[in-house]
Amino acid sequence: MLILPNQNITTEADKLADIDPILDEISSPGTQSPMREPHQIRKDCATKLAAVQVSDHFRAILGCLLDEDWTKPRLIELVITSDGHLVGRLDGESEFRIFLGEADDLIKNLHGVAPVAELDGDEVGYLVAKVAEIKRRR
């Protein structure tokens, strides 16, 4: 190849260097932060939700999903029955005696509180995944 004076030569490395900042912005718009581990997502989600005013009933459910001690008595385990009911077990009890509503309503409520708490996609996904874990335990 004949190179003429003042001719610009673009190498593959130059092309990649030009595109790296673009890819970074696409994968994390507005931030340059690394991916968060699940424990950090849980912690961030709990911090945001703790600041939002919700009913004691919903706070107990959120606390259970996030392993937080937000209510007395503390709701420590959730189960979704085969007919779609959400029931819970309180700390110190051996049976699931607390009827908490419909599982479908829980998903709707999680999506409803998300924008109020300014949860990001990872945090909403974390909560929905916790509900999915409960469903798999049937």
pLDDT (0 to 100) of residue 41: 97
Please check whether residue 27 lies inside any domain of the structure. Answer: no
| 86 in Cβ contact with 106 (< 8 Å) | yes
Please check whether residue 89 lies inside any domain of the structure. Answer: yes
Confidence band, pLDDT 50/70/90 cuts, at residue 108:
very high
- Nearest CA to 68 among 60, 80, 58? 60
State pTM to two decimals.
Answer: 0.74
pLDDT (0 to 100) of residue 28: 52
Confidence band, pLDDT 50/70/90 cuts, at residue 77:
very high
Please check whether residue 41 lies inside any domain of the structure. Answer: yes
Number of domains forming the structure of the chain: 1
Mean pLDDT is lowest, of 1-15, 31-45, 60-74, 81-95, for 1-15
Please check whether residue 117 lies inside any domain of the structure. Answer: yes
CA 74 vs. chain centroid, Å, equals: 22
- Nearest CA to 116 among 48, 42, 29, 46? 48
| Residue 126 token pair | 């974390």
Please check whether residue 44 lies inside any domain of the structure. Answer: yes
Q: How far apart are CA 76 and CA 63, in angstroms?
A: 8
| Residue 111 token pair | 């999506």
pLDDT (0 to 100) of residue 105: 96
Please check whether residue 24 lies inside any domain of the structure. Answer: no
pLDDT (0 to 100) of residue 74: 96
Structural domain for 106, as ranges: 35-136
Residue type, 21: P
pLDDT (0 to 100) of residue 87: 96
Q: Which H/E stretch holds residue 47?
A: helix 38-50
Please check whether residue 106 lies inside any domain of the structure. Answer: yes
Please check whether residue 17 lies inside any domain of the structure. Answer: no
Confidence band, pLDDT 50/70/90 cuts, at residue 1:
very low
pLDDT (0 to 100) of residue 31: 54
pLDDT (0 to 100) of residue 32: 53
- Nearest CA to 130 among 107, 104, 97? 107
Environment class of 43 (CB within 10 Å of its CB; exposed 0-12, middle 13-18, buried 19+): middle
